[in-house]
């Protein structure tokens, strides 16, 4: 008796519906349609020149890929953390503040308006990476070592982070006047597409390479789905969980570089405010389970851009930045309600009831 | 109802999708009687208890209590409680952060307010009357497990139960704590409470029980007085064998002869945090050995210690003559040991991952973090074993949790075979698999042995072990009590060794 | 096995051993607070010698006390609620708008506050208890929703001019005998604001609820072992729902007390309040894992937190970031101390029972 392998379902549309990436795609399509109907000029892109005389493309779509890129980079790390430990890291905003502050500190020394940079940008970035990864390690130890719930563990950095960031620079707001520094958050001279997008592309490439050329995906998914079995197969769940927090720290450093470079300065209480909500939303919108396990990185990244699309759309309708969070909160709640097992069961049962009469009719 | 009986279950039937868990089972409990309920895996013990306590509705049959005329309907745990049936589970079902007194009276006090003084007084009186030495104000979590269990019993007694079910109460207790528990049980017996004692520990059954009911494969084997059922007979009834059964070992496949005397794995005095007594063990190349004993005797704990799955507390290990350290699964895997765990769902499958990912998991971890298999290679591995073990799955990408239990088991087996181990440990590999495949697996084990692999095979069905093993280690109550080989490998010898105690 | 030795020493040790987790942690908090205050009085002197300083701490933190009571309740039940800060801000803004832009009564404002708190508690309680969604996500969304709504209700912060309200705000309850002399040598009576009275009342009510009512004990049961509580007959869903509901109502009350203290509406009010509430609860002996906690401890947790902030600023470290860092540090220290004590207790509990069984 030989077992035969059935050919996989080759219906492309059908399998698209079932694929995880359908969720952010559907959201994107909805948003696009909404804007098309409300005001097609939303999609206009204009070619012009910025204050430095460089050619730039501007428009809502450019804003989306500009700001969405930072979020996408963060979403990469958040996806890994969520997948491995089944929880979220709410300290990313505060961590970005710290990383940005360290960056400025290295660049500016103790002067708040230096004329020259105290260190090469590359060195400053490296230092901020190390610091961000150390704070990630701190969270990692609490979660993986002390087995504290991720959201609660990261509460500590959430509380103290911005204070630490301010302390790093003695509560001053250093401003960098070096032109080349603005490249990262702005534009490379001669290229009209905002640089963050290219930085994001590099990150996506690196992520893709890591996922392809190492076993990270298998290990993280295995640990996230069944820790006990993972142990019995030779894995060390604590180390794997710990590493995801450190990797998120790396993402934080990159996002901080972009953010600080945009303004060439920092505002400790405002920078990356509420970005953790966006990051969690991006992961959830990407169809990833917030309680860990399998993950689809591409869907998360798409989810990040869709969240940015939502934000930009709301801005267009003159929603205040402070008020944004109310709308996003509703989206989160809706998403979470519909993915709750209790709700799904009720919906499945109701769906069955709706279909049942048909089959009875057939039988009769 | 029979005279003196307080509970009678007649003709109980209970089935789940496709499986008949209970068929025409009777059970009688008399006043002031400690009655053991015994049976191996799948015998139906826990299903019977769940029917009695209202967790499952029965398909057919009647339950009578002496307190009610006519049959009673038990549709929920609350019904059972109201009828005077109380259960104390293996896992502590109390709240460790509350005091002893509070746990006894939780959710049972009348009115909205609590008077601590009255509660503590009543609790104190209850504990004294049962001889439980603990202060009612003490936090439950700071008491030993034994005391916690006795508090649970005290609660049941205070609810004036007439039937008390103790579900594996002694699994986490040491000898002196077991004695204390038995003292309490005898006290309750004197008060007229009927106790159903579900356990695997043979010695304890003979120490404290009056009657035994044996179930096997969902049917009632019989109800016996303790004095009339010597141990060996009990074991025979549980395993379904008659004393004179002689099972021959069929060896169509040649035994491995090369380096037959070289032990692949030797261990001295190893023991783990899970509470088995330190034991020595060795296995030679190409040898198939088994661990036998009743469920709960510690077979799985032994092999888990060998694999490093549980925290190893002591002892020394040599592989191929060289001393090695095996403290965690990765160590064991690196030295060529593989372990198929008993609890497939908890320790075996990674539910949402595909069949392919489940198959390559162990080998992939062994190969290393920076050396992932290409999709093509992984699929090739998977397809090879799907064919070899006849695994029924829609594709290599199907999530393993949608496969049937038997096929899931085959995937896990494939996983470990893929690592080409020197020493393969199989803990209940044939559980939940159809008969034809069971035989295939046994033949596979012998074939692997003939090619030089050492195999440890644990199964609840001793036939299987007799057919494949050349040596059996017998366990009882968490200790190694004997080793059988060669001509000694017969059902009767096994049962005698398991039973131990008085020789017939 | 009674041995001779200093009777006191054995008495104290066995008393500590016999204390429940809750009582032990609470005691530690109270002792720490008293020690800190004593040290402040001895080493820093200055204002700490005046009773009014303590009353000022109470005045400034009355709303935090109320919020922390609700937070402790939810934590004891095994959950968490991080929307309380947002609700406070929303309440302040809504009441401010109502009083000044719509010329409302103070009573109406109070009702609005209660209503908002009740609504949040109802919805969050339902989602957590009956739809079984993780409390963190639900209340995180609640927090963001509340903060967002605050800006939507009114963009700019402003002070309330409503006369009746201002009168209420300025009401001082004098405390005899504890007054002090200010810089000009004039005797000023010690006073507390109305909010403090409300806060202390709520603490008392919650204490009674948690210690002497069946419902109160069920919170502990569910937090201690949810599965067991279910099997023992506790209505777990209702208990969890109630905990969020009460927390929401208390957030509404706390919001109004905060409003009375600051007298204005602003989107940045109570920022970080939820973290302070959690920190206060943890410092006060409420464990994150549930089942352990004491309202009195929480009260002292709030006081300790405020005291540390006072000490830090009077030592000269005035920068804003020192506050955040000290709170986080204190939280960290208490978390670690808690887990060390708990694991020590578990080990010695087992060792003791072994001794007992061997001793016979």
Reported ipTM: the value is: 0.81
CA distance B348 to B340: 7
pLDDT of amino acid C1:
37
Inter-chain contact A290–C332, Cβ cutoff 8 Å? no
- Asked if C131's CB is within 8 angstroms of A340's CB, the reply is yes
- What chain A holds in terms of domains, given with CATH numbers, is 58-318 (1.10.3470)
Q: What are phi and psi of A10, to 5 degrees?
A: -95, 5
Distance CA C36, CA B17 (A): 66
Q: Is C348 on the interface with A (CB under 8 A)?
A: no
Q: Do C319 and A159 touch (CB under 8 A)?
A: no
Q: How many CB atoms lie within 10 A of CB C326?
A: 18
Inter-chain touch A340–C133, beta carbons under 8 Å: yes
Name the A residues in 149-208 with CB < 8 Å from any C CB.
149, 151-152, 155-167, 170-171
CA dihedral B279, B284, B289, B292 (to 10 degrees): -10
- Are the beta carbons of A232 and B339 separated by less than 8 Å? yes
C131 vs A343: CB contact, 8 Å cut-off?
yes
Same domain membership, residue B159 and residue B149: yes
Residue B341 falls inside a structural domain: no
Strand partners, B426: B340, B457
Nearest CB to B177 within list C227, C345, C357: C357
A-contacting residues in C 281-310 (Cβ below 8 Å): 288
CA-based nearest residue to B211, from B200, B197, B193, B199 = B197
Segments in chain C below pLDDT 70: 1-11, 17-18, 181-183, 318-321, 346-360
B386 with B493, same domain? no
Residue A47: exposure state from Cβ atoms within 10 A (0-12, 13-18, ≥19): exposed
Tell me how many domains chain B contains: 3
Query: Which uninterrupted H or E stretch holds B29?
Result: strand B19-30
With H, G, I as helix, E, B as strand and everything else as coil, classify residue A211: helix
Task: Give the distance from residue C341's alpha carbon to the nearest chain A alpha carbon, in angstroms.
Answer: 14
Question: Which residues in chain B are contacts of A5 at CB distance < 8 A?
Answer: 383, 386, 393-396
Nearest to A224 by CA among A334, A333, A88: A88
Q: DSSP string covering C26-66, please?
A: HHHHHHHHHHHHHHIIIII-GGGGSHHHHHHHHHHHHHHHH
- Chain B to chain C, count of Cβ pairs less than 8 Å apart? 96
Rounded to a whole number, what is the distance in Å from the CA of A148 to chain C's nearest CA? 9
**How high is the pLDDT of residue A3?**
35
Q: Within a domain: residue B249? A: no
Residue B55 lies in a domain: yes
Nearest CA in chain A to C86: A326
Residue A186 CB partners (closer than 8 Å, separation 6+): A50, A194, A195, A261, A262
Provide the CA A55 distance to its chain's centre, in angstroms: 29
**What is d(CA B486, CA B382) in angstroms, rounded to the nearest whole number?**
38
Which domains are assigned to chain C?
23-174+187-338 (1.10.3470)
Contact A228, B346 (CB under 8 A): yes
In a domain, B108, yes or no: yes
Q: Is A67:A272 a contact under the CB 8 Å cutoff?
A: no
Q: Which of A13-27, A270-284, B369-383, C193-207 has the lowest mean pLDDT?
A: A13-27
Residues B181 and B276 reside in one and the same domain: no
Q: Does A10 touch chain B (CB under 8 A)?
A: no
pLDDT of residue B384: 92
Under-50 pLDDT residues of chain B = 243-250, 502-504
Window 202-261 of A, Cβ < 8 Å to C: none
Q: How many CB atoms lie within 10 A of CB A106?
A: 21
Chain A contact partners (≥3 CB pairs within 8 A):
B, C
**Chain centroid, CA C266 distance in Å:** 22
CA distance A97 to A101: 6
| Cα(A85)–Cα(A147) distance, integer angstroms | 10
Burial class of A119 by CB neighbour count within 10 A (0 to 12, 13 to 18, 19+): middle
The DSSP result for C283-297, as a single string, is: HTT--TTSS---HHH
Q: Inter-chain contact C144–A329, Cβ cutoff 8 Å?
A: yes
Tell whether B372 lies on the interface with A, counting CB pairs under 8 A.
yes
- A301 pLDDT band, cuts 50/70/90, is very high
A5–B349 CB contact, under 8 Å? no
B275: CB partners within 8 A, 6+ apart = B298, B301, B478
Query: In this predicted structure, what is the pLDDT of residue B1?
Result: 66
Per DSSP, chain A holds a count of helices (H) and strands (E) of: 14, 2
Q: Are residues B129 and B200 in the same domain?
A: yes
Residue B269 three-state SS:
strand
Using only C-alpha atoms, what is the Rg of chain A? 23
- B228 lies in a domain? yes
B131 and B91 in a common domain: yes
B244: in domain: no
Cα(B237)–Cα(B259) distance, integer angstroms: 40
The answer to whether residues B231 and B113 belong to one domain is yes
Tokens of C195: 């909010």
Contacts of A213 in chain B (CB under 8 A): 370, 372
Same domain, B369 and B329: no
β-sheet with B34-38: strand ranges across: B85-88, B163-167, B194-198, B34-38, B211-216, B219-225
pLDDT digits (tens, 9 = 90+) for C103-157: 778 888 999 999 999 999 999 999 999 998 888 889 988 998 999 899 888 888 8
Residue A135 at interface with chain C, using a CB cutoff of 8 Å = no
Asked if C328's CB is within 8 angstroms of A163's CB, the reply is yes
Residues B231 and B321 in one domain: no
Range of the domain at B120: 5-239
Does the beta carbon of A343 lie under 8 angstroms from any beta carbon of chain C?
yes
Q: Do A231 and B395 touch (CB under 8 A)?
A: no
Provide, as residue numbers in chain A, all residues whose Cβ is less than 8 Å from the Cβ of B365. Answer: 215, 219, 233-235
Boundary (domain end) residue, out of B239, B271, B295 = B239
Output DSSP code: residue A145.
I
Res A203: pLDDT: 95
Q: Do both B26 and B145 map to the same domain? A: yes
Residues of C whose CB is below 8 A from A332 = 137, 140-141, 144
CB interface of A with B, residues 275-304, below 8 Å: 293-294
pLDDT of residue C360: 31
Give per-residue pLDDT as tens, C187-200.
Answer: 777 788 888 999 99
Q: How far apart are CA C357 and CA B146, in angstroms?
A: 10
Determine contact, residues B421/A234, Cβ cutoff 8 Å: no
Please say if the pLDDT value at position A2 is more than 50. no
Domain membership flag for residue B250? no
On whether both B95 and B149 belong to a single domain, the answer is yes
| Bridge partner list, C158 | C265
Taking the C-alpha atoms of residue C73 and residue C81, their distance in angstroms, rounded to an integer, is 10
* Shortest CA distance from B437: residue in chain A: A1
Domain boundary among B372, B397, B420: B420
Decide if B445 is inside a domain.
Answer: yes
Identify the CATH number of the domain in which residue B180 sits. Answer: 3.40.50.300
Based on the fold, state whether residues B97 and B140 are members of the same structural domain.
Answer: yes
Residues B325 and B354 in one domain: no
Whole-angstrom Cα distance, residue B286 to residue A236? 31
Q: Mean pLDDT, chain C, as a whole number?
A: 83
Q: Is residue A76 within 8 Å of A251, Cβ to Cβ?
A: yes
Per the prediction, chain A carries an average pLDDT of 84
C131 contacts A337? CB cut-off 8 A: yes
- Helix, strand, coil shares of chain A, percent, nearest 5, are 70, 0, 30
């Amino acid at each position: 008796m030989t077992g035969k392998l059935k050919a996989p379902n080759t219906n492309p549309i059908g399998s698209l519906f079932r694929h995880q990436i359908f969720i952010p795609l559907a959201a994107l399509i909805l948003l696009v349609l909404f804007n098309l109907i409300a005001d097609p000029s939303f999609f206009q892109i204009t070619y012009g020149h910025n204050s430095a005389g460089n050619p730039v493309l501007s428009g809502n779509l450019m804003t989306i890929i500009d700001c969405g890129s930072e979020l996408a980079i963060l979403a990469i790390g958040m996806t890994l953390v969520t997948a491995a430990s089944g929880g979220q890291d709410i300290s990313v905003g505060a961590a970005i503040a710290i990383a940005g502050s360290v960056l400025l500190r290295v660049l500016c020394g103790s002067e708040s308006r230096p004329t020259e940079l105290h260190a090469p940008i590359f060195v400053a970035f490296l230092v901020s990476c190390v610091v961000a990864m150390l704070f990630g390690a701190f969270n990692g130890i609490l979660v993986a070592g002390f087995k504290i719930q991720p959201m609660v563990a990261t509460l500590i950095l959430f509380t103290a982070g911005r204070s630490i960031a301010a302390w790093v620079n003695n509560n001053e707001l250093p401003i960098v006047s070096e032109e080349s520094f603005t490249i990262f958050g702005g534009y490379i001279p001669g290229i009209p597409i905002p640089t963050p997008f290219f930085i994001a592309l590099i990150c996506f490439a690196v992520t893709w390479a890591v996922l392809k050329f190492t076993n990270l995906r298998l290990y993280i998914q295995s640990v996230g789905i069944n820790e006990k079995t993972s142990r019995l197969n030779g894995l060390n769940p604590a180390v794997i969980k710990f590493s995801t927090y450190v990797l998120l720290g790396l993402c934080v450093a990159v996002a901080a570089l972009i953010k600080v470079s945009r303004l060439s300065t920092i505002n400790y209480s405002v920078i990356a405010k509420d970005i953790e909500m966006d990051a969690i939303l991006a992961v959830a919108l990407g169809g990833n389970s917030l309680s860990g396990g399998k993950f689809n990185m591409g869907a998360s990244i798409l989810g990040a851009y869709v969240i940015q699309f939502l934000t930009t759309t709301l801005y267009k309708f003159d929603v205040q930045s402070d008020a944004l969070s109310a709308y996003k909160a509703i989206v989160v709640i809706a998403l979470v309600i519909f993915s709750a097992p209790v709700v799904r069961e009720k919906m499945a049962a109701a769906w069955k009831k709706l279909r049942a009469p048909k089959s009875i009719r057939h039988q009769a | 109802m029979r005279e003196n009986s307080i509970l009678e279950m007649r003709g109980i039937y209970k089935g789940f999708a496709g499986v008949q868990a209970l068929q025409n089972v009777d059970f009688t409990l008399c006043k002031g009687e400690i009655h053991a309920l015994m049976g191996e895996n799948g015998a139906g013990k826990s299903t019977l208890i769940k029917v009695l306590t209202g967790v499952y509705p029965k398909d057919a049959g009647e339950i009578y209590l002496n307190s009610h005329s006519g049959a009673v309907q038990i549709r929920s745990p609350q019904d059972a409680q109201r009828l005077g049936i109380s259960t104390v589970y293996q896992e502590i079902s109390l709240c460790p952060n509350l005091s002893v007194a509070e746990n006894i009276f939780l959710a049972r006090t009348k009115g909205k307010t609590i008077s601590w003084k009255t509660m503590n007084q009543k609790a104190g009186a209850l504990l004294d009357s049962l001889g439980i030495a603990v202060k009612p104000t003490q936090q439950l979590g700071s008491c030993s497990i034994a005391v916690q269990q006795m508090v649970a019993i005290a609660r049941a007694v205070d609810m004036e139960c007439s039937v008390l079910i103790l579900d594996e109460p002694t699994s986490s207790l040491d000898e002196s704590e077991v004695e204390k528990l038995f003292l309490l049980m005898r006290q309750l017996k004197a008060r007229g409470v009927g106790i159903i004692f579900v356990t695997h520990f043979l010695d304890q059954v003979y120490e404290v029980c009056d009657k035994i009911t044996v179930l096997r494969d969902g049917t009632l084997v019989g109800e016996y007085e303790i004095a009339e059922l010597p141990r060996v007979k009990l074991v025979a009834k549980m395993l379904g064998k008659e004393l004179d059964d002689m099972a021959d070992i069929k060896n169509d496949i040649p035994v491995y002869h090369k380096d037959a005397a070289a032990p692949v794995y030797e261990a001295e005095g190893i023991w783990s945090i899970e509470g088995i007594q330190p034991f020595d063990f060795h296995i030679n190349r190409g040898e198939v050995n088994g661990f036998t004993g009743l469920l709960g005797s510690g077979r799985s704990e032994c092999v888990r210690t060998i694999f490093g799955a549980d925290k190893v507390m002591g002892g020394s290990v040599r592989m191929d003559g060289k001393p090695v350290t095996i403290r965690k699964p990765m160590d064991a895997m690196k030295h060529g040991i593989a372990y198929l765990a008993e609890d497939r769902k908890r320790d075996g499958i990674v539910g949402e991952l595909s069949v392919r990912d489940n198959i390559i998991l162990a080998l992939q971890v062994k190969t290393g973090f920076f050396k992932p298999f290409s999709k093509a290679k992984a699929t090739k591995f998977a397809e090879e074993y799907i064919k070899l073990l006849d695994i029924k799955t829609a594709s290599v990408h199907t999530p393993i949790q949608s496969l049937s239990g038997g096929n899931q088991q085959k995937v896990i087996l494939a996983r470990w075979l893929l690592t080409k181990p020197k020493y393969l440990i199989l803990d209940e590999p044939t559980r939940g698999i159809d008969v034809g495949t069971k035989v295939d697996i046994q033949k596979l084990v012998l074939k692997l042995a003939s090619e030089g692999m050492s195999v440890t095979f644990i199964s609840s069905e001793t036939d299987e072990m007799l057919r494949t093993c050349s040596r059996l280690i017998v366990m009882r109550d968490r200790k190694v009590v004997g080793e059988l080989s060669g001509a000694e490998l017969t059902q009767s010898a096994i049962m005698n060794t398991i039973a131990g105690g008085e020789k017939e | 096995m009674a041995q001779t030795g200093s009777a006191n020493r054995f008495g104290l040790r066995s008393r500590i051993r016999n204390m429940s987790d809750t009582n032990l942690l609470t005691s530690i908090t109270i002792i720490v607070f008293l020690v800190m205050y004593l040290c402040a009085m001895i080493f820093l002197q200055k204002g700490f010698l005046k009773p009014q300083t303590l009353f000022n701490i109470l005045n400034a933190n009355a709303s935090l006390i109320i919020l922390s009571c609700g937070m402790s309740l939810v934590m004891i039940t095994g959950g968490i609620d991080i929307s309380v800060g947002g609700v406070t801000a929303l309440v302040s803004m809504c009441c401010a708008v109502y009083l000044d832009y719509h010329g409302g009564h103070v009573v109406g404002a109070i009702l609005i506050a209660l209503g908002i708190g009740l609504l949040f508690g109802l919805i969050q309680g339902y989602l957590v208890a009956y739809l079984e969604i993780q409390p963190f996500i639900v209340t995180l969304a609640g927090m963001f929703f509340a903060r967002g709504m605050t800006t939507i209700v009114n963009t700019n912060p402003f002070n309330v001019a409503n006369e009746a309200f201002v009168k209420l705000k300025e009401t001082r309850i004098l405390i005899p005998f504890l007054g002090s002399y200010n810089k000009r040598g004039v005797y000023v009576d010690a006073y507390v604001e109305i909010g403090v009275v409300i806060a202390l009342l709520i603490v008392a009510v919650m204490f009674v609820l948690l210690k002497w009512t069946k419902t109160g004990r069920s919170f502990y049961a569910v937090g201690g072992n949810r599965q067991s509580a279910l099997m023992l007959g506790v209505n777990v869903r209702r208990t969890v729902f109630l905990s969020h509901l009460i927390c929401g109502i208390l957030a509404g009350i706390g919001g109004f007390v905060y409003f009375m203290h600051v007298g204005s509406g602003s989107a940045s009010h109570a920022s970080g309040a939820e973290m302070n509430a959690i920190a206060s609860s943890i410092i006060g002996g409420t464990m994150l894992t549930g089942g352990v906690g004491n309202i009195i401890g929480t009260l002292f947790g709030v006081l300790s937190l405020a005291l540390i902030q006072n000490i830090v600023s009077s030592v000269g470290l005035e920068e804003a970031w020192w506050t955040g860092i000290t709170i986080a540090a204190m939280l960290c220290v208490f978390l670690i101390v808690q887990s060390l004590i708990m694991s020590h207790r578990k080990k010695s509990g087992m060792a003791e029972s072994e001794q007992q069984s061997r001793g016979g």
